[in-house]
Amino acid sequence: MLDLEMKRQLEAVFGALEGTVELAYKESSHAQQAELLGMLSDVASTSSKIQAIGSGESSPMPAFRIGHNGKPTGLHFRGIPGGHEFTSLILAILNADGKGKMPDEGIAARVRALKGPIRIRTYISLTCENCPDVVQALHQMALLHPDFQHEMIDGAFAQDEVESLGIQGVPSVVVDGKMIHSGRIHFLDLLGKLEAHFGTGGATASQPRDLGKFDVVVVGGGPAGATAAIYSARKGLKTALLAERMGGQVMDTKGIENMISTLYTEGPQLAEALHKHVASYPVKILERRRVKTISRDRRVELEGGEFLSADAVIVATGAKWRELGVPGEKEYIGRGVAYCPHCDGPFYKGKAVAVVGGGNSGVEAAIDLAGIAGTVTLFEYNDALRADKVLVDKLLSLPNTKVVTHARTQELVSDGQKIVALEYVDRRTEKVERVGVDGVFIQIGLLPNSAFVKDTVELTKFGEIVVDGRGHTSVPGIYAAGDVTTAPYKQIVIAMGEGAKVALAAFEDRMRQGS
């Protein structure tokens, strides 16, 4: 199953293993059992520290669990983790042996404080690009917690379960037969949901922890934040970078073709390059952190009780996908409401779907979905689509698409189980219309990640941080750069330039003050 080049790469990756990792498979008469055994055998052949062995258990479908030095790890798989999930398998093997990138002690303490026992199932599809993030996050939590089991389930092998749970989007996280989350989610938000669901306890749950004093604290790990951290460190300043995840919104970007000198790259590759570049300098990188507040005297408080202080703070937190804010949206995420056409589009093969938003992202989503869905209706608030003409022409040329303008989405209508219609107001007549759909994909732009400084610095009515030409905010010592600011044109290359400029401005101010 694995080609020679892949095996060579895995041999290098697994060269650091010290303990024995067992891939313990269950016996099954399923037609694809041989495929699973072939994959596990191929993976095991790349290291003497990995064993593919029978567990002595049986299953109606291909399934296995991971052990370490003869002990269970809490990591389970149902299905064959190929496609995007192959990486989840490789990382699970490394993490089980304590190798690879794991959460630092501050985050690990929050995970261990969860009240057990914890038993979680995550339903995925092998074409889902967001699923591995959730699977890998829950696997790591299971390895950190003493009473935590997590099972990745390929929905293609468990259609009865998918239907009984009402799953219409992935990843879907299920506890005790109830879906607690569906769709894209990052480690911190997922941990927060588990804390709310299971509760926390112990001395580590709420103790404040001082992370230290720095010359510069950069908040945000995207292009602007990474650049600001590098430029600050190059000036010899004691620098910390706080990020929910390195790369920020870039991680959700597919093809990037406008990075000067780079013909083509993809978001995750650029994010990894940013991380490596920052890590090559003496920057304290604190990932999986979310800022709660920043005071005017530059004390930075984090969710989870940690805090730190700085002479200068650079806010570079970017922006996130904007929500409609209508009834039915949040309640039915994963059950007819989606934001990622690449991930959830396959669930709507031959069905009727709607796309809300007539900008480039909305029109691109409609074009992609037209190749899968039976019909695609795009709803736009304004009187015309705002996307580039080449995209609009492509959309209008497709036989199974329709465009509705002057449409103010009012409600995503459900039958109590899933979305069945989109209700909108025709802004020309104020008449309420209803269109039957099986799913709604929301693509209405970005919202600045600035809520945590709304009571500290000046914001525009759109939530952007007001900055001058050097990145100064309304509060001395607090700077901002990138998509979270009023700087025009939200582009990666511009964000990098803004990050460099603001870091240099902060250093120049420091020199003038004689610090």
Angle at 196 between CA 90 and CA 289, to 5 degrees: 55
Q: Is residue 128 among the annotated active site residues?
A: no
Instruction: Kindly name the residue from 97, 215, 343, 438 that is annotated as catalytic.
Output: 343
Considering the candidates 131, 340, 438, 483, report the single residue annotated as catalytic: 340
Alpha carbon of residue 150 to chain centroid: 19
**Where do we find the tokens 């399934």?**
63
CB 448 within 8 A of CB 483: yes
Q: Phi and psi at residue 150, in whole multiples of 5°?
A: -130, 135
- Looking at residue 91, its amino acid is L
Per the listing, tokens 């690009």 go with 129
Nearest 10 degrees: Cα torsion 402, 405, 411, 415: -20
Question: Is residue 344 flagged as an active site residue?
Answer: yes
Tell which residue, 229, 262, 259, has the closest CA to residue 243: 229
Annotated catalytic residue within 133, 311, 344, 483: 344
Residue 184 backbone dihedrals phi, psi, to 5 degrees: -60, 135
- Told to judge if 340 belongs to the known catalytic residues of this protein, a careful annotator would answer yes
User: Smallest Cα–Cα separation from 130: which of 408, 281, 442, 340?
Assistant: 340
β-bridge mates for residue 426, sequence order: 407, 431
Dist CA 512 CA 491 (whole Å): 31
- Burial environment of residue 389 by CB neighbours within 10 A (0 to 12, 13 to 18, 19 or more): exposed
Which residues form the catalytic set?
A: 340, 343-344
